[in-house]
Structure 1
Amino acid sequence: MTIDPRVQSEDQLRADLAWLRDIQDMPGVLETFVAGHAPRLFALVEQDLGLLEDAVFGWGLQFDDHAFVVVRGGTSSMSCSSADDAVTVLGVAGRNLRLVWHTPSADSTPGRVLKRRRVIR
């Protein structure tokens, strides 16, 4: 009889799965995993000399292999190969769009508890 070392007993498999679950429940483990795989957030800002302020035309997520954009108000969405391509495609209608990458502040880091301050004036 030959024993295959790749096959574990059911008890050992349950023990391994319990250990894996315990590791995932440790503070910061899943947050670190997600942060390493999270898409980058960007905005498409419409710059118009006639407007007093720039306006966010749409928001997007840049994944490893594509980008997904939702236009302001949710009126349309699109998937393209990159954030730069989204600027090109959506700018065809004569819009002056600028790609702005969002960098979250340290205060908005997942897993970090923010302290509230009471301001009395």
Structure 2
Amino acid sequence: MDESLIQDMVTGSAPRMFAVVEEDEDETWVAAWGLVLEEHTEVISVDGDLRMSLQEPEGALDIFNAVDNIARLVWV
């Protein structure tokens, strides 16, 4: 297969990536990374202790906003 066709196929099917960014009164940090795939979203915390398979990226906010910090999605 032609290299440019392969590159187009890969680029066209690549998942969107985002970070779950948390902040409190003193600091801001990346808490997790996520990939939006064709039919679902995968999220893994930076420390590797939490993995989620979700229908929508915003579902990660339900988990990360459950603590006292404020979480938001930042698209890469």
Q: TM-score, normalised to structure 1's length? A: 0.58
Structure 2: runs of 5+ lacking an equivalent: none
Write out the 4+ residue segments of structure 1 that deviate beyond 6 Å after TM superposition. none
**CA RMSD, Structure 1 to Structure 2 (Å):** 1.2
SS of 2:47's equivalent? helix
Asked if residue 89 in structure 1 is aligned to residue 67 in structure 2, the reply is: no
Instruction: Indicate which of 19, 31, 43 corresponds to 1:69.
Output: 43
**Following the alignment from structure 1 to structure 2, what is the Cα–Cα distance between the partners of residues 73 and 28?**
37
| 1:95 to partner: Cα distance | 2.7
Deviates more, 1:81-90 or 1:55-64: 81-90
Q: TM-score, normalised to structure 2's length? A: 0.88
Q: Percent identical across equivalent pairs?
A: 32
| 1:96 to partner: Cα distance | 0.8
The 5-angstrom pairing of residues 35-114 of structure 1 reads: 35-51=11-27, 54-102=28-76
Larger Rg: 1
**Following the alignment from structure 1 to structure 2, what is the Cα–Cα distance between the partners of residues 78 and 64?**
16
Structure 1: runs of 5+ lacking an equivalent: 1-23, 103-121
